[in-house]
Chain A
Amino acid sequence: MQQIQSLSLNNLPSIWVEALSSQLIAEENVLAWLEIDLDTQLHFATSLVVVTNKRVLTKMASDEIWQEWRYQKDLLLTQRDYAGVGCLELFDAHARLAYWRYRLGNDIAVSRLIACFTQQRDYYLTGKLPVAEYTQIQCPNCTAFLSSEQEECPVCDKQSHAPPSTWTLLRLWRFAKPYKGRLLIGFLLTLCSTAATLVPPYLTMPLMDNVLIPYQNGQPINTDLVTLYLSGLLVAAVLAWMLGWARTYMLALVSERIGADLRTTTYEHLLSLSQEYFGGKRTGDLMARIGAETDRINLFISLHLLDFATDVIMIVMTAAILISINPWLALVTLVPLPIIAWLIHLVRDRLRIGFEKVDRIWAEVNNVLADTIPGIRVVKAFAQEKREAARFHAANQRNLQINDRVNRIWSLFTPTVTLLTEVGLLVVWVFGIWQISKDEITVGVLTAFLAYIGRFYMRLDTMSRIVSVTQKAAAGTKRIFDILDHVSSVPESSNPVHLSAIQGQIELRNVGFRYGTRSITRDINLVIKPGEMIGLVGHSGSGKSTLVNLICRFYDVTEGMILIDGHDIRSLPIAEYRKHIGLVLQEPFLFYGTIAENIAYGKPDATRSEIVSAARAAHAHEFILRLPHGYDSLVGERGQALSGGERQRISIARALLIDPRILILDEATSSVDTTTEKDIQKALDNLVLGRTTIAIAHRLSTLREASRLIVLDRGRIVEIGNHAELMAREGYYYRLYLAQARNVDTEDRAIVSVTEHSAAGERI
């Protein structure tokens, strides 16, 4: 009887295990459970819902009693959600027995709970268990159950909102690895150049003790010695200059390459991700990640990390030199160092928060601008210039306020560092003079110490910056790796089937698609013959676009399969498969470039005559010739302004040129006016010829050519047939058609029904 693997209680949070195991009766197995984080009054409180092979059990954390419902006929468990809160309800034939509210987090667990419940209830009623359709895989992290198509756990994916740890930076090693030889050279150069900069202070010691002090005591200046020391100083300076140049150049070279690799890899990976990923992300955010974040990481490596490394090396070397000269004085010199460093860090931290605030307030000021300038026509039309100016003034005022507050600390910062430095030097002076008075050190030694220490007190400031800079770089790295770690939800088949030519038969077998828990389409069965044109009809949200996206494999089906000439599309190489599909969208997108380039986008090696004949077939040739530079006119952003209809015809030419077997028209004519639509329609007639075509249109009149219309409602096919059949049936399509016709002027039904905006169709 234990057909489904019974869920071990190990996964259950420990507080429930004991309470639950005492409840279980003989031969009872827990199949699914859900921890619920709200009570029915929507207060935060935990409770548990358990589905076993005998019954449904539930208990509030604060209650002592378990409630139970045994399986019976008409027992139903359903789920709905509203504004981030889910509601799980248990019904029998007469009433609602219980309900639970929860924050939408673990969608998968809810679906699983319901699936288990339904299965067990049916088993109770019929004694039969449905054949397991696919084996369940458990996510290794959170034990959520995955459907066979998901290679990554959606639950974990959502929960990966942990703050970025500094260790993420180590992952950059993957990109640094190819350059490890050059990195090593860079490191050695850093060592040498740092050592070279430490020579001059060291030379002040003998210069003082062997030349200047003896001279003050009446001895003549030893010219040879002076020449020796001074040339030493010069050589050290020149050496430090050369090594410093080589080091900086070498490391900048490497870091620039790491940054470039990072950028290209991220972008390439991004392009391979499915439509689903792009759907959930803001364009600006993705652009910022690839542009600004990689640049920040780059800067971090080439500047901050390098400086920090140099500083550390310098401090270690200086400490070694100082100790070798005089351990006691070295101790006194170095002890205040950590304290000062800590103090600087403290002030910096304050400042950082302040600067972040300034950043955010800047964004706010920018937002006001970004709001107003594109909408300037509206602002002027409603004569609201004064109000917009006041809004800007307010944002600016806030900006001032915050800046004033930051500046109060900021202006304190540099003097404080100087003060701390002076105090540190003072300590060295005091102890040094005392030691000189005891004849333990010479004046030269004290001078050398002062020269050394002055140098790295200055560096403490830059060093204190490393903490915040590292945090920022770590955050940036995490964001980059967020993209890189994302596995495409439309995976490439491991042993792909290559089809050189296809007939164009599309078969949808029990196709279902879920987005999160929301089931968008279910049980779609449809065979489209090669060369057939079908129209998808239904109001918005009925699943038309989803179906098209599934056929294009922008998403993968969650249930069932889609077959092209009898091959599952998941077994075909994605790029090769999409070459067979021509897509004409509602809002045609033109890239910046010439018209010819845009037409040849899907086939960059097309000849000029091919481009022209495609444009002719798309009825675009004539208007292109009217443009000042013909086919060489620049279009797209910053380019020649084209009307919606003209852009659409270019995109039709684009689809014609690749000569696809399958053609998808997604609302190709709904954003243009009637006359333009007629032009486009003529172009489309050429395009459709002999190809398997799937067309979506709100205006039903545009689908008269279709041999069959598929009427969709709430993700299911409700009617199939041609226009006349469906009208005769007086069903769903009939009502849809009438509702559109009702808005139509009686005198010219055909034309006006076309101009009528899609809104009418949408609202039925």
Chain B
Amino acid sequence: MSGADGYQLNRNSYGRLVFTDRSGLMQEGVVPVRSFPITDPDQGIALINSHGRELLWIERLADLPEDYRALIESELASREFMPEIKRVLKVSSFITPNTWQVETDRGESTFILKGEEDIRRLTASSLMITDSYGIHFLIRDRLALDRHSRKLLDHFL
């Protein structure tokens, strides 16, 4: 693959992204990082090398050639883990810590909520729930949830 701005990006057989800059210097294990993962995921993506140095700044993903975009998107998809809660099925107790059984965009799951303070308001209607292992569950619009989920959630807001 060859790039527009003189750099090259490909995936090696170890499953790592390899970045080759204009001078031909190859760096293995570069990772794409979103600057605004929640508020504006597609704006500002940086390629970071294994030492945490920024190699490339991508203003918008759409600006990239098709093959690179696919590569970066697949890498992002395999790194990003922020299940979006679609329904709250069951909450073991209204006193924290408790176990939540939820339906997410990545399938059904359970997690443990340590305390109400782990539910963070992002905007008026979107919430982020941090579970006991530090995984973030997103509720994009709590008002759009079904009645049962809203009622359960309401206990903790």
Closest Cβ neighbor of B108 among chain A residues: A44
Q: Are B107 and A45 in contact (CB under 8 A)?
A: yes
Indicate whether A174 reaches chain B with its CB closer than 8 angstroms: no
Q: Are A158 and B13 in contact (CB under 8 A)?
A: no
User: With a CB–CB cut-off of 8 A, which chain B residues contact A38?
Assistant: 81
Residue among A83, A96, A104 with most chain B CB within 10 A: A83
How far, in angstroms, from A452 to B136 measured CA to CA in the complex? 57
Indicate whether A41 reaches chain B with its CB closer than 8 angstroms: yes
Q: Which of A40, A101, A164, A360 contacts B116 (CB 8 A)?
A: A360
Closest Cβ–Cβ distance, residue B118 to chain A (whole Å): 11
Q: How large is the interface on B (under 10, 10 to 19, 20 to 34, 35 or more residues)?
A: 20 to 34
Q: Are A82 and B104 in contact (CB under 8 A)?
A: no
Closest Cβ neighbor of A96 among chain B residues: B15
A103 and B135 contact, Cβ closer than 8 Å, known pairs A89-B15, A161-B112: yes
A42 and B78 contact, Cβ closer than 8 Å, known pairs A103-B135, A104-B133, A162-B97: yes
Closest Cβ neighbor of A45 among chain B residues: B107
Closest Cβ–Cβ distance, residue A94 to chain B (whole Å): 6
How far, in angstroms, from A158 to B99 measured CA to CA in the complex? 13
Q: Are A42 and B77 in contact (CB under 8 A)?
A: yes
Indicate whether A527 reaches chain B with its CB closer than 8 angstroms: no
Q: Are A84 and B107 in contact (CB under 8 A)?
A: no
Closest Cβ neighbor of B98 among chain A residues: A163
User: With a CB–CB cut-off of 8 A, which chain A residues contact B15?
Assistant: 89, 95-96, 99
Q: Are B93 and A44 in contact (CB under 8 A)?
A: no
Q: Per-position contact with B for A98-134: 1 when CB-CB < 8 Å, else 0?
A: 0101011100000000000000000000000000000
Closest Cβ neighbor of A94 among chain B residues: B13
**CB interface residues, A 1-57, toward B, < 8 Å:** 37-38, 40-45
Indicate whether A759 reaches chain B with its CB closer than 8 angstroms: no
Closest Cβ–Cβ distance, residue A33 to chain B (whole Å): 20
A161 and B114 contact, Cβ closer than 8 Å, known pairs A44-B104, A360-B157, A475-B95: yes
Number of A-B contacts (CB under 8 A): 73
Indicate whether B92 reaches chain A with its CB closer than 8 angstroms: yes
Interface of A (DSSP majority class): mixed
How far, in angstroms, from A96 to B13 measured CA to CA in the complex? 6
Indicate whether A66 reaches chain B with its CB closer than 8 angstroms: no
Indicate whether A277 reaches chain B with its CB closer than 8 angstroms: no
Q: Are B97 and A163 in contact (CB under 8 A)?
A: yes
Q: Are A84 and B134 in contact (CB under 8 A)?
A: yes
Closest Cβ–Cβ distance, residue B4 to chain A (whole Å): 28
Closest Cβ neighbor of B82 among chain A residues: A83
Q: Are B107 and A44 in contact (CB under 8 A)?
A: yes
User: With a CB–CB cut-off of 8 A, which chain A residues contact B126?
Assistant: none
Closest Cβ neighbor of B134 among chain A residues: A84
**CB interface residues, A 332-391, toward B, < 8 Å:** 353, 356-357, 360
User: With a CB–CB cut-off of 8 A, which chain A residues contact B83?
Assistant: 44
Closest Cβ–Cβ distance, residue A164 to chain B (whole Å): 7
Q: How large is the interface on A (under 10, 10 to 19, 20 to 34, 35 or more residues)?
A: 20 to 34
Q: Which of A85, A162, A356, A475 contacts B81 (CB 8 A)?
A: A85
Q: Are B106 and A44 in contact (CB under 8 A)?
A: yes
Q: Per-position contact with A for B83-116: 1 when CB-CB < 8 Å, else 0?
A: 1000000001111111100001011110010101
**CB interface residues, A 488-519, toward B, < 8 Å:** none
User: With a CB–CB cut-off of 8 A, which chain B residues contact A105?
Assistant: 133
Q: Are B77 and A41 in contact (CB under 8 A)?
A: yes
User: With a CB–CB cut-off of 8 A, which chain B residues contact A83?
Assistant: 79, 81, 134-135
Q: Are B157 and A91 in contact (CB under 8 A)?
A: no
A43 and B13 contact, Cβ closer than 8 Å, known pairs A83-B134, A161-B132: no
Residue among A44, A94, A99 with most chain B CB within 10 A: A44
A82 and B95 contact, Cβ closer than 8 Å, known pairs A42-B106, A44-B104, A360-B116: no
Q: Which of A44, A89, A95 contacts B13 (CB 8 A)?
A: A95
How far, in angstroms, from A41 to B78 measured CA to CA in the complex? 6
User: With a CB–CB cut-off of 8 A, which chain B residues contact A43?
Assistant: 106-107
How far, in angstroms, from A101 to B80 measured CA to CA in the complex? 11
Indicate whether A471 reaches chain B with its CB closer than 8 angstroms: yes
Q: Per-position contact with B for A458-494: 1 when CB-CB < 8 Å, else 0?
A: 0000000000000100010000000000000000000
Q: Per-position contact with B for A159-189: 1 when CB-CB < 8 Å, else 0?
A: 1011110000000000000000000000000
Closest Cβ–Cβ distance, residue A683 to chain B (whole Å): 37
User: With a CB–CB cut-off of 8 A, which chain B residues contact A95?
Assistant: 13-15
Q: Are B97 and A82 in contact (CB under 8 A)?
A: no
Closest Cβ–Cβ distance, residue A564 to chain B (whole Å): 37
Closest Cβ neighbor of A158 among chain B residues: B132
User: With a CB–CB cut-off of 8 A, which chain A residues contact B92?
Assistant: 163
How far, in angstroms, from A104 to B136 measured CA to CA in the complex? 13
**CB interface residues, A 139-162, toward B, < 8 Å:** 158-159, 161-162
Closest Cβ–Cβ distance, residue B90 to chain A (whole Å): 13
User: With a CB–CB cut-off of 8 A, which chain A residues contact B104?
Assistant: 44
A44 and B109 contact, Cβ closer than 8 Å, known pairs A360-B116, A471-B95: yes
Closest Cβ–Cβ distance, residue A546 to chain B (whole Å): 20
Residue among A43, A95, A159, A161 with most chain B CB within 10 A: A161
Q: Are A353 and B93 in contact (CB under 8 A)?
A: no
User: With a CB–CB cut-off of 8 A, which chain B residues contact A360?
Assistant: 116, 157
Closest Cβ neighbor of A360 among chain B residues: B116
User: With a CB–CB cut-off of 8 A, which chain B residues contact A101?
Assistant: 78, 81
User: With a CB–CB cut-off of 8 A, which chain A residues contact B136?
Assistant: 84
How far, in angstroms, from A124 to B156 measured CA to CA in the complex? 54
Closest Cβ–Cβ distance, residue B28 to chain A (whole Å): 12
Closest Cβ–Cβ distance, residue A166 to chain B (whole Å): 11
A84 and B157 contact, Cβ closer than 8 Å, known pairs A43-B106, A44-B106: no
Listed A/B pairs (5) with beta-carbon separation below 8 Å? A83-B134, A85-B81, A95-B14, A101-B78, A161-B99
A sample of 11 more A-B contacts (CB under 8 A), given A38-B81, A44-B107, is: A83-B81, A84-B133, A85-B81, A94-B13, A96-B15, A158-B132, A161-B98, A163-B92, A163-B93, A163-B95, A360-B116
A interface with B by C-beta (< 8 Å): 37-38, 40-45, 82-85, 89, 91, 94-96, 99, 101, 103-105, 158-159, 161-164, 353, 356-357, 360, 471, 475
Q: Across chains A and B, which 6 residue pairs bring their CB atoms closest together, nearest first?
A: A95-B13, A44-B107, A161-B97, A163-B93, A96-B15, A84-B135
B interface with A by C-beta (< 8 Å): 13-15, 77-81, 83, 92-99, 104, 106-109, 112, 114, 116, 132-136, 155, 157
